[in-house]
Amino acid sequence: MKIKYESAFHKIADEHAKVPDKYTLLDDVFTSPKMSFVICKDSSGIPTAVYGARAWDFTPINMAEGTTSKLHFNFLDKLDLATDAANFLYDETKILMFMLLYFSGSGRTGISSVKVILNRFHSLRKISLFCVKCNNELIADILSIKDVLSNESYLAAYVKELSENEQSELSNLISSLKSIKEKYLGFEVVKYHKSRPDSQQTPVIPSRIYFASFEKLQESIKKYHKIRNQLTELIKEFKCANAGLKLSTQKKNKFTTQFPTLPELLKKHRLYAFFTEQYKVNDKRNLVSAISDIQLTCKTVIHQYTAMRNGEALRIKYDCINSVNLSDEKDVAPKLKQNRFVQVISTTTKFTAYKHEAGWLCPDDVIYAIETLQAIIDGLAVLFDVEPKELPLFHSPAIITHTKSKQGTMSSFNGMTPFCLSDLQINQNDRDELINSDTTRKYDDPKFDVGANWPFTSHQFRRSLAFYGANSNLISESTGAQLFKHLNHEMQRYYRKGFNKIRTVLGYLDKTTGEIKIPEDHFIFEFQTGMSTNQARQILELILEDNQRHGGKKGDFLAKQRNEQGLQDDDVYILELKSETQRKVDAGEISYKKTLLGGCLKVGRCNSFMLGDFTACISCNEANIEPDKIDAQILKMKQKLTTYDKESAEHQIVSRELLELTAFKEKELRKAELV
């Protein structure tokens, strides 16, 4: 009997990577894959990770751009170790890594990202080094990874050498291995669990610095936007690799033709003052750094207004803007500007093992940043001789100085701060506010000292928007959950933690009343409008466009609405339905949020949802159940059961939930037969 297994990253294969090889299991007996077995391919189909190679490169499927993607099987080479012993440990590591990729599934018990691959590999590598140490200190047979993971005594001795984080990663490795059949592994993995130690939360940017950053970034973005077309033409000049070189360099290389120098090119495109005064550009290398800073500044603005994560921003494509008309003119508040919103399209991996498209609503000010980035890509596309759409929006400009730069290479912004934000120093009030926002931390790192420049990171803008939005009462938990791509209110509370401990900062003090007021055209109001519009659209899609059968009490109601309307081609009826649905959402009469089993139309907080009791949806009057999600959850829970001891509490809980889902599915099937 033959069974074919796909890599955990099979679904990721898209424009960035080709589908890797499938593994064929014969008669339920595992054998090592061939040395030529391909585990990862790039978009051109070229293998980047081959089983028998000394290094596996997962860059094509790395969803967290800018992070390490390679596994190097040479970590024992510098040790005084016999070749056979080293190869034995390398082979063990490879086989286990292969099984983790092909047999352990995805999600909490398996592989879900390249970062997780690296973490599992580092755990196995550390075990290998422990084996070498033991073999050197003890005169005994060669200790193997299998020995450590299957023997409680060896594992206990190994754990003593690990930090808290390393113990947690070991626990994750063991959990992943336990999801693989014991007969494939060839040994029984011992029980071990170590929870991850509490980590410090991303700090909130002090209010003075936070709002000063908006002003500084917008000032820079508008400046960049004005010269974007000149920037495109300047970059195109470097199609000739010798363009921009100093005269001394050209003479040294004995060029027969004199090429324009960089100052000449800057003057030609009316950019001399811009690059020499602000960025002190005097050669092509400085120019590349300046263009990278422009990209970073644009990226930071996107983080400010969309609350995107770092990887989500880096995955934005060239064509990423959708115009969004939030409401008809008659529904717009008098002082709110219409159409100030656009939707930025990117991909997210949150709660899935693969990338899926998602949209972020943001003020149309962000379009200045996007168009500036597009202008840079328009120039780089000429250098690569491709269409702009073929390059990522944050493509590295390194080809200006290095003609052999690879197409598709992303700009790296690790640890960098936009030039325009580099002079925002922490004062005593900022520090007091920072400490008051999280009294559990001392903030004793020198980077948070008075006088230090604030250490910006991309995730701080995400946390700060949630924090100050909550502080002003303008971003509710349900709105925030959609804006930040959170599934539950618990995560929202984590982001908003401490918001009530400092003064309101989104508004201004009305001296006549002594109250804090919010400008009526503040973009935060439009976040609320945009989120309610999204809810209305989701409800309308269920009624008008979704033809699959739905379960649950609210699902039955939606199906009845769809069947009874009988006017799907009547534009007047549909317009009335849209208008009424939007009115009810705005008034708080109806709501919609996605759940693990489909959707929920409950208005207000759901305690069961907060506590993770998703089976409560089955009997809830407000639930809309999607059969495909029921099937997927039943399959996932059956797989989970194999990883738990039959006497454990986890096994009992999952068994009960599985029984409830199965009974519900059978009930829905009987109901469908009667229709």
Tokens of 1: 């009997």
Tokens of 436: 């008051």
Q: Are residues 462 and 582 in the same domain?
A: no
pTM of the model: 0.56
Q: Are residues 333 and 235 in the same domain?
A: yes
> 369, 386, 421 — which closes off a domain?
421
Beta bridge partners of 23: 5
512, 518, 506, 422: which is closest to 471 by C-alpha? 506
Residue 490 is assigned to a structural domain of this protein: yes
Q: Are residues 483 and 582 in the same domain?
A: no
Q: Are residues 433 and 416 in the same domain?
A: no
Whole-angstrom distance between the N-terminal and C-terminal Cα of the chain?
Answer: 40
Q: Are residues 241 and 379 in the same domain?
A: yes
Number of other residues whose CB lies within 10 A of the CB of residue 25: 16
Q: Are residues 415 and 456 in the same domain?
A: no
Q: Are residues 282 and 399 in the same domain?
A: yes
Phi and psi angles of residue 645, each rounded to the nearest 5 degrees, phi first: -65, 140
Beta bridge partners of 396: none
> 185, 220, 242 — which closes off a domain?
185
165, 126, 131: which is closest to 147 by C-alpha? 131
Q: Are residues 668 and 582 in the same domain?
A: yes
Instruction: Tokens 């003052």: give the residue.
Output: 273
**366-384 vs 228-236: helix crossing angle, rounded to 10:** 10
Q: Are residues 96 and 162 in the same domain?
A: yes
Q: Are residues 36 and 175 in the same domain?
A: yes
Q: Are residues 253 and 398 in the same domain?
A: yes
Is beta strand 55-57 parallel, antiparallel or unpaired with respect to 70-72?
Answer: antiparallel
Contact status, residue 489 vs residue 609, Cβ threshold 8 Å: yes
Residue 198 is assigned to a structural domain of this protein: no
Which ranges of the chain have pLDDT less than 70? 10-17, 63-67, 105-112, 136-141, 195-201, 322-365, 466, 469-594, 603-614, 643-644, 648-650, 669-675
Q: Which pLDDT value is given to residue 667?
A: 79
Q: Are residues 641 and 544 in the same domain?
A: yes
Residue 241 is assigned to a structural domain of this protein: yes
Domain count, the chain: 4
Residue 72 is assigned to a structural domain of this protein: yes
Residue 196 is assigned to a structural domain of this protein: no
> 352, 387, 421 — which closes off a domain?
421
Q: Which pLDDT value is given to residue 192?
A: 86
Residue 199 is assigned to a structural domain of this protein: no
Name the residue range of residue 85's domain: 2-185
